[in-house]
Structure 1
Amino acid sequence: MSLIVKTITRLTVGLILLYGIYIVLHGHLSPGGGFAGGVIIALSFVHLMLAFGKDAVTERISKQTASKLESVGALLFLSIALIGFFGGYFFLNILKKGEPFKLFSAGTIPLSNIAISLKVGIGLLAIFLALVILEEVKREK
């Protein structure tokens, strides 16, 4: 890519990542949540990949790290659900609610959003990486 694209990417990729984290953490107060935030976080890495190539992303996050993070997201969501279930509470309802419109006001919803964003974000990034690698294999043949 050109120098302009690479410079703009360096300036914007952190902001996109930060916006995705904001969407995840404030998903119980405003539209958004785990899925939307996970997609935005994954797209920040896709943006980096489009400008600098797949090696720029694979240097920052290895296959093993991505696999572990995706598993942590799934296990975190499952454990939140099972703690509520085995604790005698309603499904996913193990933390007390706070004051309305405050950051810590939604019980387990923010924790669930974090778990879902890990699962969705890493999964989408893995799909995009697989498509890029498949295209490279086709070009070599």
Structure 2
Amino acid sequence: MIAFPIIRVVTKLLIPYILLFGFYVQFHGDFGPGGGFQAGVILAAALILYGLVFGLQAVQRVVPAWAVEKMMAMGVLIYAGTGITTILLGGKFLDYEVLDHHLLPGILPHGQHLGIFVVELGVGITVTAVMTMIFYTFAGRKHVL
């Protein structure tokens, strides 16, 4: 099988660029197209590509299933925690304007920008973890026939 080593080499060359693009979409999504969902899918696609080429066990050595489970919970907690923080500061759920007046004014970015950034980070972590776990589940299933 001559093509298999070529696929492995090309995959090893592409994955860093896929991850870099995913992080770019994540951290610049509040200024332009993109954001947490798109970045999460791109980052998960890099892990899934690695798993398809090198096998399920190889990708689970890089990102174990227990870590993916913790990432799912952490992303949701970041998202919900941002909303609860805005409630505790006297606003409505995800009312970023209250972050302007309470969290180190002049040092941190404006409340609207900070709120969007943190929420999109939570969404990105959650989407990456969920997409990866879906791949782990389907790739790890036993054949019935």
Please classify the TM superposition score into its range, dividing by the shorter chain length.
0.7 to 0.9
Q: CA deviation at 1:70?
A: 1.2
CA distance in 1, matches of 2:34, 2:117: 11
1:116 corresponds to 2:116: no
Q: CA deviation at 1:90?
A: 3.7
String of CA shifts for 1:88-121, please: whole Å, max 9, x gaps. 124321433xxxxxxx562311111110011111
Structure 1 ranges of 4+ moved more than 4 A: none
Match of 2:74, as an amino acid? V
CA distance in 1, matches of 2:62, 2:19: 14
CA distance in 2, matches of 1:129, 1:112: 26
TM-score (norm 1): 0.87
1:18 corresponds to 2:20: yes
Among residues 82, 99, 121, which one is paired with 1:95 in the alignment? 99
Among residues 124, 128, 132, which one is paired with 1:125 in the alignment? 132
Q: How many residues align?
A: 132
Among residues 59, 76, 79, which one is paired with 2:78 in the alignment? 76
Bigger-Rg structure (1/2): 2
Match of 2:99, as an amino acid? L
Structure 1 unmatched runs, 5+: 97-103
CA distance in 1, matches of 2:35, 2:41: 10
CA distance in 1, matches of 2:4, 2:114: 47
